[in-house]
A and B are shown apart, each in its own frame.
Chain A
Amino acid sequence: MSIFSSIVKFLKVHIFDHFTAKVCLVLVTGLCVVSLLYNYFMREDSVSVLTVIGAVVVPFQEGANKVGSILFKAEEERMDLVQARERIAELESQNADLNRKLDEADSLFVENEELRSLLYAKKRLSDYEMLEAEVIGNDGINCFERFTINRGSMDGIKPDMNVINNDGLIGIVTEVGLNYSIVTSIIEDGMNVSAMTKNGHENCIVSGDLKNSGMSTLILKNALSEVDLTKDSTLVTSYISDKYLPNLLIGYAKDVVLNNGSLTQSGTVKTAVDFSRISYVLVITTMREELQEVE
């Protein structure tokens, strides 16, 4: 005991008493400055004291951070989450409501547009008697190559009646049932329409082609080489057909090239009608033969 206390006394007198505050400050300052300079100049290849201490401290820090997040962050996030969920539910119901209304409005709008355009077409082609019809079935996958309309022989539909809409010629009635009929459109493979340019009355043949199926495009054949199809590209049905009424708009010639021998030219025709969407059509009940009889 006496040895211990004498050691303590010795240490106190000879070592601790020399460590006054001033000495300590100088020591601390020196150590810090050395450490800072060492880190500043030897940064790249030095193993920092902190990396060693960090191995011990970091797990503690992680645990402490977890505690902190449990204390505050979790509560904050929970509040945010509750509010967000309420808001989402509210917005979802509102959204569904609006979507329903929008759908209704959209379908009404489309129907209105189509009926309006039919009305316009009817006025424009007032020479012919017409019957409006609704498309009720479609054989093709996307394009309306053959489709069913809701008028039949009961309504006075006969085969070979022309079918149009506001944009132009769609096709021809090929089969008639009691209350339905089937329309084959001009883009169907093998359909040939005798066409002419609108101003020059130069004849050519426009035919549907399987290759262009689904693209509202027709093949143009047998146009005489004198006809400038780039200037006068609008094609209408010609007078020489026995099925199609004259002056119905078919489409516009494109990509016209001169054939071998420079006698004829060929190309493609972009139809005036968009064959990917047809829902209302007009059937011209005036037949070609009747027209000839009148004439």
Chain B
Amino acid sequence: MHGIKRFLVLLISITFCGLMQLLVFPSIPYLVAIPNMMLIEVFSAGFLFGRRIGLITGVVCGLILDILGTGTPGFYTLILAWLGYGDGFLSEKMESEIIPVLYVILVVNEFLYHLYVYVFAFLIRMRFSFIPYFTKTVFPEFLLTMVIFLVVYGILIFVSKRWDLKVNKGEVRVV
């Protein structure tokens, strides 16, 4: 029963995040950057349900990005799978979750993600301009991701507590 509920929660949240990232946010006029919804989803799944689910979520989200985006198959899958696994691994080791700590981990996630994208999408083609890439694309995305993360993670925590799905029994505190 737990499995079905978890599956439902993941299915709905992945669909929601995918739609938001690929459809809703790009259509909103005057938005500077698109928050990285898939990363939020993978991060949340990893922290809520452990490394196995984090890995699966990472693979699914990465495949969605690979298929609906225009890239090489496996490009996003690889990094998101690793991030999901790593987050799950971290959550299993952590006693309690404090929001600032989560933020730090999210920032590290974002940084690793963008470093990966930069190295394998730009550096490999001899594009060395990291600073413009960082200031124009990465930094606005960081900020937006921070804000949206609270909403998504809050909803997921609420639902999984209600249905008693959470693997890591640590308490979520603001400070």
Report A's interface with B, CB cutoff 8 A. Answer: 20-21, 24-25, 28-29, 31-36, 39-40, 48-50, 53-54, 57, 61, 64-65, 67-69, 71-73, 76
Contacts and interface: CB of A to CB of B under 8 A. Distances in A.
B74 to A, nearest CB: 4
B116 to A, nearest CB: 12
A61 B68 contact: yes
Given A29-B81, A32-B81, A68 B26 contact: yes
B74 A36 contact: yes
A64 B23 contact: yes
B78 A33 contact: yes
B55 interface: yes
Given A25-B55, A40-B72, A73 B27 contact: yes
B77 A57 contact: no
A247 B111 CA distance: 93
A148 B30 CA distance: 67
A15 to B, nearest CB: 15
A35 B73 contact: yes
7 contacts: A25-B81, A54-B67, A57-B67, A64-B23, A67-B23, A68-B27, A72-B27
Interface size for chain B: under 10, 10 to 19, 20 to 34, or 35 or more residues? 20 to 34
B77 A28 contact: yes
User: Max chain B CB contacts within 10 Å: which of A50, A57, A61, A69?
Assistant: A50
A50 B59 contact: no
B47 interface: no
B85 A36 contact: no
Contacts of B81: 25, 28-29, 32
Contacts, number: 73
Nearest to A71: B27
Nearest to B86: A25
B23 A65 contact: yes
B35 interface: no
B98 to A, nearest CB: 25
Interface in B25-52: 26-29, 50-52
B39 to A, nearest CB: 17
Nearest to B77: A32
B67 A69 contact: no
A243 to B, nearest CB: 79
A50 B67 CA distance: 6
Given A64-B23, A65-B23, A32 B78 contact: yes
Contact of A36 (B51, B67, B75): B75
Interface of A is mostly: helix
Nearest to B120: A36
B82 interface: yes
Nearest to B84: A25
Contacts of A53: 67
Contacts of B23: 64-65, 67-68
A104 to B, nearest CB: 45
Contact of A48 (B56, B73, B75, B78): B73
B55 A36 contact: no
Contacts of A34: 74
Contact of A73 (B29, B56, B59): B29
A72 B29 contact: yes
Given A21-B51, A25-B85, A65-B23, A32 B28 contact: no
B141 interface: no
B82 A29 contact: yes
A53 B66 CA distance: 10
B105 interface: no
A39 B73 contact: yes
B29 A31 contact: no
Contacts of A64: 19, 22-23
Contacts of B50: 21
A50 B22 CA distance: 17
A72 to B, nearest CB: 4
B8 interface: no
A69 B27 CA distance: 6
Contacts of B59: 28
A33 to B, nearest CB: 7
B24 interface: yes
